[in-house]
Amino acid sequence: MKRLIVSILTSFIVTTIISAQTKRPLIPADFLRYVEVSDPQISPDGNWCTYVVTKVDTSKDKHVSNIWMVSWDGKNNIQLTNDNEGESTPRFSPDNKYISFLSSRNFDEDKDDDKNDESQLWLMNRLGGEAEKITDVKNDIEDYAWSPDGKKILLVMSDIDYADTSSTGNRLPYVITRYHFKQDIEGYLDNRKTHLYLLDVLTHDIDTLTTGDYNEEQPVWSPDGKKIAFVSNHSEDADKNENDDIFIMDAMQGAVPYQLTTWKGEDQHPQWSPDGKSIAYLQSSSDENFTMYGEDVLAVIAASGGKPNLISASFDKQLYEPRWSKDGKNIIALMEDDRQQQVVSFNIETEKYIKLAAGEKVFWNAELNQSNGDWLVNMTDPQTPNELYALEKNGLRRLTHTTDSFLAPIQSIKVEGFQSKSSDGNLVSGILYRPANAPANTKLPLIMYIHGGPVGQDDYEYDLYRNTLAAAGYAVAAVNYRGSSGRGKDYIRAIYGDWGNKEVTDILGAADYLIAQGIADSSRMGIAGWSYGGILTDYTIATTTRFKAASSGAGSALQLSMYGVDEYVTQYETELGPPWKNPDLWIKLSYPFFHVDKIKTPTLFMASQKDFNVPSVGAEQMYQALRSLGVPTELVIYPGQYHEITVPSYMKDRFTRYLDWFGKYLK
């Protein structure tokens, strides 16, 4: 018996060693294997949770999302849909009998399968069987919500676009009259609006609830089903500000909405209290025309109106997704806090909060289980992509293992937080990624991979991008430069009207720290980023020649040329003033282009063809300048892509090019 136990133990050890030895580094091709878990919802009886799994269909080179369902005890996991067009936004009917979802699937053999129809609302019996399409509209359904009694469904739909109905098949010309006239993904903006409609579940009839020259969004039903709260901007010229207010209306055709909030900034994400007497929401900390440089504050206001109570005003942290507790005494929210995103609970009476879940993790999508008062959350940490967890009184309990097969062959990356001091004394928080097999006491080539925004933070999530770079043999640093969130409003606002200055100081300070710690080889440093990360890459290589290679993605350097070209006109006129009134500041902020002759760093520029966020002209100008000056450079334009690259083969291509470019100059 003793010999048998020794034999079994030896076999287990050998198997474990072989398994560890067969694991390999992450490579760009793994982008095609990556799986995402999102949008968790809990059934009314609390026994089941739906969620969306997004995978890559390599044959069609696109992402496809399908709906899954897991039991609350985590023992049963079922795929509910498997359509090539994909599904999204699953919701349980209040009677627990059905699951609804949005999809552009087309089962009509007489129709062209290749036609990209608008998404319709579908209804599927939880016991099985084929789903039934319950809408047939030409509008785009952007969102929906079941009434508490299950008899009605509130639809959020945009006006029909008649511009593609030309008899020749050519789109009619764009006729522009708006101040804010372009937006990434949406393209050129016309005067179509988004309104609320009411669908009768039994008859499929649709009534119009709102009309006019306003957009309505984020609708929520009152607990008794008699009223609807929603968000809209009714200011004189909504394009010239970022105002949003909360409105309430009776849930019937012909009802007149009344305005509940009056803050000149943003009031968003309303949530009715369980008794229907109050509404919790998020109010921007700034009432300026452009509210990016601030944080959202948790507010509660009586549904009948009055002055709001700003619950979290003294905590100086960004909050997301407020949700009422079952007893209505607390509001749960997600809170950013220096590289973490925590689940916190605010007591309505004391206005104090406690942490329900924290640590070197990132939480999303907290949903209340009405049957027991516990919570369903998405959670990710540096070693684990997003999965579903039950957040119970005794802690977290994992429900899904969707990404296990993705992680199985991959070597883990070493991830740790660090803090550095900049030359002006500013304390900067960062995250360091290193290869799993990095030799001890050996300096590595360093890539500073800079986040966009600028408001936002690098946090303790599973970072596929930086993991891929680190797996190739680099030390990779994420740096929460001034302008990042998670450290308070003053830290965010430090770069207001002063781009590419303090941020570069913080990036260089982090590099100096990693060099001093013996982690980074000062002679082999690179820098890269996308969006504002690409912009900061341009600023950095125009400031110093310390970096031996760079990649600027979706960036810009000649800021003077961005006015009227991208989607940020409101920010520009608020933060910088019109170029004709403040030309000196615009030229100052265009430093990288007007000092391009100082750049010696070989730089790879990337951009998306249809990007209206940071248009490709920003990359094209810098490429042309470096090419003129004889500095090694290359320009890659991804066809048909918007600001975020979504075609899987392009995502793989982007990181393959990173590795080739940095491998050429840093290794």
Question: Residue 116: pLDDT above 70?
Answer: no
Which residues sit opposite 342 in a β-bridge? 335
Q: What is the pLDDT of residue 166?
A: 61
**Contact criterion met (CB below 8 Å) for 41 and 90:** yes
Helix, coil or strand: residue 385: strand
Distance CA 547, CA 534 (A): 14
Question: Residue 63: pLDDT above 70?
Answer: yes
Distance CA 136, CA 105 (A): 12
Per-residue confidence at 438, pLDDT binned at 50, 70, 90? Answer: confident
- Kindly report, residue by residue over 561-593, the tens digit of the pLDDT: 999 999 999 999 999 999 999 999 999 999 999
Distance CA 646, CA 642 (A): 8
Type of residue at 36: E
- Kindly report, residue by residue over 176-225, the tens digit of the pLDDT: 999 999 999 989 998 899 999 999 999 999 999 999 999 999 999 999 99
**Contact criterion met (CB below 8 Å) for 632 and 639:** no
Q: What is the pLDDT of residue 17?
A: 42
Distance CA 323, CA 346 (A): 10
Helix, coil or strand: residue 135: coil
Q: What is the pLDDT of residue 181?
A: 92
User: Which tokens sit at 657?
Assistant: 């090019």
How far are the Cα atoms of 7, 8, 9, 434, 493 from residue 3, in angstroms, in the given order? 6, 9, 10, 42, 68
Question: Residue 375: pLDDT above 70?
Answer: yes
Count of positions (residues) in the chain: 667
The H or E element containing residue 620 is helix 617-629
Helix, coil or strand: residue 141: strand
User: Going by C-beta distance under 8 Å and a sequence separation of 6 or more, which residues neighbour residue 626?
Assistant: 596, 599, 603, 632, 633
Work out the burial of residue 442: count CB atoms within 10 Å of its CB; fewer than 13 is exposed, 13-18 middle, 19 or more buried.
exposed
- In degrees and rounded to multiples of 5, residue 350 shows phi and psi of -85, -20
- The radius of gyration of the chain from alpha carbons, rounded to an integer in Å, stands at 26
User: What is residue 562's DSSP assignment?
Assistant: T
Percent of the chain with pLDDT over 70: 94
Q: What is the mean pLDDT of the chain?
A: 92
Q: What is the pLDDT of residue 111?
A: 43
Mean pLDDT across the stretch 614-635? 98
User: Which tokens sit at 167?
Assistant: 């008899």
**Contact criterion met (CB below 8 Å) for 432 and 415:** yes
Question: Residue 107: pLDDT above 80?
Answer: no
- In degrees and rounded to multiples of 5, residue 196 shows phi and psi of -105, 140
**Contact criterion met (CB below 8 Å) for 194 and 216:** yes
Q: What is the pLDDT of residue 1?
A: 45
Question: Residue 165: pLDDT above 70?
Answer: no
Question: Residue 6: pLDDT above 70?
Answer: no
**Contact criterion met (CB below 8 Å) for 586 and 559:** yes
The H or E element containing residue 624 is helix 617-629
Per-residue confidence at 292, pLDDT binned at 50, 70, 90? Answer: confident
How far are the Cα atoms of 533, 612, 618, 620 from residue 609, in angstroms, in the given order? 18, 9, 12, 11
Q: Please, what is the Cα angle at 629 between 626 and 635, to 5 degrees?
A: 25
Mean pLDDT across the stretch 135-156? 95
Question: Residue 9: pLDDT above 50?
Answer: no
User: Which tokens sit at 615?
Assistant: 């248009």
Four-residue CA torsion sign, 613, 616, 617, 623: positive
Mean pLDDT across the stretch 322-351? 96
**Contact criterion met (CB below 8 Å) for 376 and 390:** yes
Question: Residue 15: pLDDT above 90?
Answer: no
Q: What is the pLDDT of residue 21?
A: 61
Per-residue confidence at 448, pLDDT binned at 50, 70, 90? Answer: very high
Distance CA 527, CA 43 (A): 46
User: Going by C-beta distance under 8 Å and a sequence separation of 6 or more, which residues neighbour residue 250?
Assistant: 226, 227, 228
User: Going by C-beta distance under 8 Å and a sequence separation of 6 or more, which residues neighbour residue 479?
Assistant: 428, 430, 448, 450, 451, 458, 506, 507, 510
Give the burial string for 221-247 (b: 16+ CB within 10 Å, else e). Answer: bbeebebbbbbbbeeeebeebbbbbbb
User: Which tokens sit at 580?
Assistant: 């004709």
Q: What is the pLDDT of residue 167?
A: 66
Tell me if the bond preceding 439 is cis, omega within 30° of 0: no
